[in-house]
Amino acid sequence: MARAKLSSRARWFWGIGAAIAVSAAVVTGLVFQPWLLFVDVRVDDDIPAPVATTAPTAAPPQTPTIEPTEQISPAPPAAPVDLLTGVFVSHEHTTTGSVRVIENADGNRQLAIVGLETTNGPDVRVWLSAGPVIEGFDGWFTAAGYDHIDLGPIKGNLGDQLYDIPAGVDLGVFRTVDLWCKQFAVSFGAAALA
């Protein structure tokens, strides 16, 4: 009889151990989302081409007139116009591509990420950061210590993407684009805007 009780007790412990192991595996999977390492999401937003700016041409000489003439100022260049550009450096994950801050004809600004290639991950956000871009391991955590503007979740880990920049954002302060994984508080890659 003691032998049967020991056997059922052992089965009970094995059952509890198995339940704990399965629960731990599920929680680990939900937190780390390892399958994202094998899933690529390509985005192909239509990135506006910048308008080529040319030097103003001199007006032809005018014959003198008796009436005063109005001075005609040249029309503003047609939008979109590139205000700032940069190139990604890799941090925790290999990240390549470039960034452009575009001003549209209506005055709205957008961040364009062009030719992005990085690893997919959980809760990766696109930040405009006041922090510097530091290459290598030291740069992985830099953005966390500085003010930032969150432009939203990354749309995908490959391709071309557009993000609206809120009105009033001072691009003289927020001069870095950072792909920030909130879940693990680490940068995938960053680009300095110049």
Q: What is the pLDDT of residues 77-126, one digit of tens each?
A: 566 999 999 999 999 999 999 999 999 999 999 999 999 999 998 899 99
**184: which DSSP letter?**
T
pLDDT at 51: 74
pTM of the model: 0.71
What is the rounded CA–CA span in Å between residue 77 and residue 98? 24
**What secondary structure letter does DSSP report for 38?**
G
Question: Looking at 47-51, 74-78, 127-131, 186-190, which range is the least confident one?
Answer: 74-78
The pLDDT, as a whole number, for residue 13 is: 73
**Confidence (pLDDT) at 111:** 98
Q: What is the percent of the chain with per-residue pLDDT over 90, rounded to a whole number?
A: 60
Could you report the per-residue pLDDT of 151-176, keeping only the tens digit for each?
A: 999 999 999 999 999 999 999 999 99
CA–CA gap between residue 150 and residue 172 (Å, rounded): 16
Q: How confident is the model at residue 17 (pLDDT cuts 50, 70, 90)?
A: confident
Residue 65: phi and psi, rounded to 5, are: -125, 160
